[in-house]
Structure 1
Amino acid sequence: MATPKFTLELRKKIGHDLLWLIGVTGLVRDGEGRILLGRRSDTGEWALVYGINEPGEQPADTVVREIKEETGVDAVVSDLVAVTSSDHVLTYANGDQAQYMDHAFLCELKPGGNAEPFVGDDESLSVGWFGLDELPEPLAASTVERLALFKRYLANKEHGDAHALFVADGEQH
């Protein structure tokens, strides 16, 4: 994943110290119920679209931008599914440390927009639509975790209680 310019500037001041960042994840569904995934160039794993919020940018705008940049697909946010904090510190190969607060958004295709995915930047090796029962391998661990959140949200929404997913201290409420 390309490191945002603001993060590089912060790193000049704080070095490899822990940096708290706002992240976004988008699960985009098409009219057939398939989901959009990209095969990441840094790990070779398949993943949902995710990225880092730029200063002053609304998280919903960030996820729409990231979807467009990485896959060429035009999407709109339909639901805020969850806001979660990571409980572990990630240490990157260069020694940088980060933790994330992630905003998980359910997205749909933008009416009249592009629905044909293509590799839009150097963060992906390939992109495509996949049925939930036909997911490619290997899936990124973060995608497996976030897909569980999305599936639970959608099941609860189908039963009229979408936000029954509140999680505190590791317990669902």
Structure 2
Amino acid sequence: MATPEFVLKLREKIGHDLLWMMGITAYVRDAEGRVLLGQRSDTGKWALVCGIVEPGEEPADTAVREIKEETGIDAVVTDMVAVKSDDRVITYINGDRTMYMDHLFLCGIDPEGNAEPFVGDDESLKVGWFDPDDLPEPITPSTVERIGYVRKYLRNKAEGDSHALFACNGELH
């Protein structure tokens, strides 16, 4: 997995100390309601597209960029689903420690772009469309959690409440 240059420069100064990062997760769905997943090369588990927001980059732009880089899909952000702090400290194999503020976006396919997924970089072993009720295994726990957030958001939206979910005292509202 490629570490962004700005993170490498920070790590030169702070070593492996805990680093607070802005992240995105993209729930991309096609016209049939299938969700786009990638099998991660680092864990072998299936996951939603995710990535790190670069300095000065808008989180929605990060989502579109990461989707294109990882899967070849041209996507558009349609909804902000949730903003939530991940309370887990992730320790990478090299000892770097991070925590993330995740921006979860609902995305569709750009009607003027590519809709056929392919492995676009070394972060994935495979990519593909899946029925949200029949997901591949093994799957990351964070993906299961975030798919649940999308389902809750879509239920709320169908009932006339299209506000993004947010966490307060650890609970999503």
Alignment TM-score, normalising by the size of structure 1: 0.96
RMSD over aligned CA atoms reads: 1.1
Superposed displacement of residue 172, structure 1: 4.1
Give the structure 1 partner of residue 12 of structure 2. Answer: 12
Q: Sequence identity of aligned pairs in percent?
A: 69
In structure 1, what is the Cα distance between the partners aligned to 2:16 and 2:154? 38
Give the structure 2 partner of residue 157 of structure 1. Answer: 157
Shifted more, 82-91 versus 49-58: the winner is 82-91
CA contact (8 A) 1:27 1:35 kept: yes
In structure 2, what is the Cα distance between the partners aligned to 1:150 and 1:122? 27
Superposed displacement of residue 106, structure 1: 0.3
Superposed displacement of residue 52, structure 1: 0.2
Equivalent pairs, count: 173
Instruction: Render the CA deviation track for 1:85-139: whole Å, top value 9, x for unaligned.
Output: 1112111111111010010000000012100000000000000000111110111
In structure 2, what is the Cα distance between the partners aligned to 1:34 and 1:136? 12
Instruction: Render the CA deviation track for 1:54-101: whole Å, top value 9, x for unaligned.
Output: 111100000000000000000000001111111121111111110100
AA matched with 2:54: E
Give the structure 1 partner of residue 103 of structure 2. Answer: 103
Superposed displacement of residue 164, structure 1: 7.1
Kindly report structure 1 stretches of 4+ aligned residues shifted beyond 2 Å.
162-167, 170-173
Alignment TM-score, normalising by the size of structure 2: 0.96
Q: Secondary structure at the match of 2:28?
A: strand
Give the structure 2 partner of residue 50 of structure 1. Answer: 50
Give the structure 1 partner of residue 170 of structure 2. Answer: 170
5+ long unaligned stretches in structure 2: none
Q: Secondary structure at the match of 1:98?
A: strand
In structure 2, what is the Cα distance between the partners aligned to 1:73 and 1:105? 15
